[in-house]
Structure 1
Amino acid sequence: PARARTNTATRTHEHVYAHARTRVRAHTPTRMRTITRTRTNARTRTNAPTRTHARLHAPTHARTHAHTHAHTQAHAHTRTQIHTHSENETENFLQ
């Protein structure tokens, strides 16, 4: 009886540990995502809606975009040197 009791306890303990191991492995991406979210989604969350919204209102803010493009070209930005934008691509300039 004592041996059976020990066996049952061991089997229960094994089950608990197996369950905990599954739970930990399942929650590890969430824990890592919390660390990554600070860096990655700080950019994604702020820029993606703003960029989409600006592209939506690009005809409305045509003067603003033209001024931004002229300002970038006036300073001979590295970005302007790498990516050449034509005049009709003004709304894609914010990308």
Structure 2
Amino acid sequence: HRHTHMHTHTHAHTHACTHTHAHTHAERHTHAHTCTHTCTEAHTCTHMHRGTHACTHTCTDERTEAHTCAHMHAEAYTHAHTHVHTCTEAHTCTEAHMHAHMHAYTRTDERTEAHTCAHMHAEAYTHAHTH
């Protein structure tokens, strides 16, 4: 049957304006199924930073039955104003879904004007057989 994983997280904080965004996506896949990965990110700030990042990935391979995907998402930003980050991810697969999820979030002292956030999002999932 189909397996759908929906992950949504939103965090808002007030803090000044340097934004660094690194996005690396590595995969290797050989699979007899369709895998769809959708990631939508919205960055809204009360001052001068506005940005939207969206990426959609679809991979299909009808030849074999082993699929490995690796997704790395890293962000670092320093702000002195309100920042809202919303990420919605949807995984829909027609095969068995083994999902590993790791989150690391660090922030500096809330009492300071300069706020540094580091967000690490890593996902790895393997598909093996129909269920």
Q: Which has the higher strand share?
A: 2
Give TM-score, length-normalised by structure 1: 0.21
Q: Which has the larger radius of gyration?
A: 1
